[in-house]
Amino acid sequence: MSITQSMANALSGLNAASRAAEIVSANVANATTEGYGRRSLELAADDIGGVGAGVRVVGVRREVDTAILADRRLADADLAGAETRSGALSRIEGLAGQPGSGGSLSDRIAALETALTDAAGDPSSTLRLSSVVSALDGVVSEFHRLDDGLQQIRLDAEKSVAGEVDQLNTTLSKLEGLNADIVRVRTSGGDSSALEDQRQILIDQVNQIVPVRELPRENGRVALMSTSGALLLDGPPAEFSFSPVATMTADLSVTTGTLGQVQMNGRAQDFAGGSSLLRGGSLEAAFDLRDATIPALQQSLDRTAADLADRLSGAAATPPDPAGTHDILLDGGDAVDPVDITGLSGRLTLNSALATDPTLLRDGLGAAGPVAEGDGRALNDLIDALSEPRTRADGGVGTAYDAATAFQSAVATQRLDAETDMTIAGSSAALFKEAELAGGVDTDAEMQRLLLIEQAYAANARVIQTIDQLIQTLIEL
């Protein structure tokens, strides 16, 4: 081997060692950077004309365990969905309150029973009768507050869907651009690792909304498919659309066509029917809240309102009146229809005649005339009606107070279940995240590599120094 060839070999070694040191320094600097994949230098022996010509830098490889990455993404999607459900149910539990908290529905009904008991003890007291009317008004107001709160949380879920659809379109468009940039850099012989880091972060964002699988394509491109089989990205991205409503009421639903669904490339994704190809993640959780969880709680609340209205109207010492003008609690001014109670909580009203004349509680709405001031039969009938054990739609048996506490208990149980699911999902996500980090940058290992690189650099430099001495010797001959 000639001196010139030896010099070239040593110089190539110096170049390889320099590049390796650059890679190590980048790894150490980004040891805690989200989405960063550890780099390693790919080297190969250079061979020109069958003669060894040093070392050649083939490229930079981004080290990622695709199996662990896929598992971590599935766990992250589960966690995103669980967090969405748990957050909403925590809000609903705060809205419903707890028995004994002072302002909950059960507390309002208990206050009504107390006011009725006081009034029955002295039916002649207009002040005590006014207290009953005030307590009734408090119960109605609480039903309205709960209805408004449930529909607001449901509307927030609707807005969340709209925001996530926009994010899907924006992020998938960015991923299409990154795919093109990565192909361009790779075909020109450059290092696309930094672009791949950015792409992984964006894919993780999509995965929070819809769990995805990453499929490799030529020249570093990737395709994305939902775990349910929808192709989200493979060249041009899928297009999503959603038309949210401006206001939410209890009667709006997908089945009646008054609430929309997400459209993917013009095809509706029916989450409730189980045919959606976008299942999992926060998007499905938001639809579940809007179309299933909150409507079921709303139905329970409406049944509680209907039960209370029926108890009070059935106990009123008045002639029957189909128009409902003799009922204490009305559905927007009309008699409560037990067949159509959806949204009743928001429409429930107190008979306006009681606000004008509280003594009608004692005498009877629509009665031919007043009864004796000391006659408390009608008031006692109302007390008995509230305390009468009745079978509820959920199979339980209890008083009007029990029906209210059953609603609050159902909310608390669902919140607890959602919180448990979130804890389990969080533990799983943390486990896979830890496994992913274990395969990432190990600063101790990188420092060991740096020592080897330093030795290789020094050895190549020593070769160059020796060649220089040989050349000086030849010149001096």
Residues 137, 18 within the same domain: no
- The residue range of the domain holding 463 is 3-65+440-476
Residues 147, 271 within the same domain: yes
Taking residues 251-267, what's their average pLDDT?
93
For the record, the structure tokens of 355 come out as 């606000």
Q: What is the DSSP string of 413-424?
A: HHHHHHHHHHHH
Residues 177, 283 within the same domain: yes
Query: What is the distance between the alpha carbons of residues 252 and 274, in angstroms, rounded to a whole number?
Result: 20
How long a stretch of residues is the chain? Answer: 477
Residue 334 has pLDDT above 80, yes or no: yes
Taking residues 213-238, what's their average pLDDT?
93
Angle at 70 between CA 64 and CA 74, to 5 degrees: 145
Q: What is the pLDDT of residues 440-474, one digit of tens each?
A: 777 888 788 888 888 888 888 888 888 888 888 88
- For residues 239 and 194, is the Cβ–Cβ distance under 8 A? no
**Cα 71 to chain centroid, rounded:** 19
The values of phi and psi at residue 38, to 5°, are -60, 135
Domain membership flag for residue 435: no
Residues 78, 51 within the same domain: no
**Domains identified in the chain, total number:** 2
Domain membership flag for residue 339: yes
Taking residues 168-188, what's their average pLDDT?
95
Strand-strand pairing, 212-216 and 231-233: unpaired
Residues 460, 356 within the same domain: no
Domain membership flag for residue 233: yes
Element spanning 60, H or E: strand 51-63
Residues 318, 378 within the same domain: yes
- For residues 12 and 55, is the Cβ–Cβ distance under 8 A? yes
Residues 24, 134 within the same domain: no
Exposure letters 421-451 (e unless 16+ CB within 10 A, then b): bbeebeebbeebeebbeeebbbeeebeebbe
Least confident of 243-252, 267-276, 360-369: 360-369
- For residues 365 and 323, is the Cβ–Cβ distance under 8 A? no
Residues 315, 400 within the same domain: yes
Residues 110, 41 within the same domain: no
Domain membership flag for residue 77: yes
Domain membership flag for residue 344: yes
Q: What is the pLDDT of residues 76-117, one digit of tens each?
A: 999 999 999 999 999 999 999 888 778 899 999 999 999 999
Domain membership flag for residue 138: yes
Residues 415, 457 within the same domain: no
Residue 314 has pLDDT above 70, yes or no: no
Of 296, 298, 270, 295, the C-alpha closest to 284 is 270
Residues 331, 459 within the same domain: no
Domain membership flag for residue 248: yes
Domain membership flag for residue 273: yes
Of 475, 473, 472, 465, the C-alpha closest to 11 is 465
**Cα 344 to chain centroid, rounded:** 29
pTM of the model: 0.86
Residue 317 has pLDDT above 50, yes or no: no
pLDDT category of residue 393 using cuts at 50, 70 and 90: confident
Query: What is the distance between the alpha carbons of residues 61 and 40, in angstroms, rounded to a whole number?
Result: 5
Which has more pLDDT, 261 or 274? 261
Residues 459, 426 within the same domain: no
Query: What is the distance between the alpha carbons of residues 477 and 474, in angstroms, rounded to a whole number?
Result: 5
At 287 the three-state DSSP class reads helix
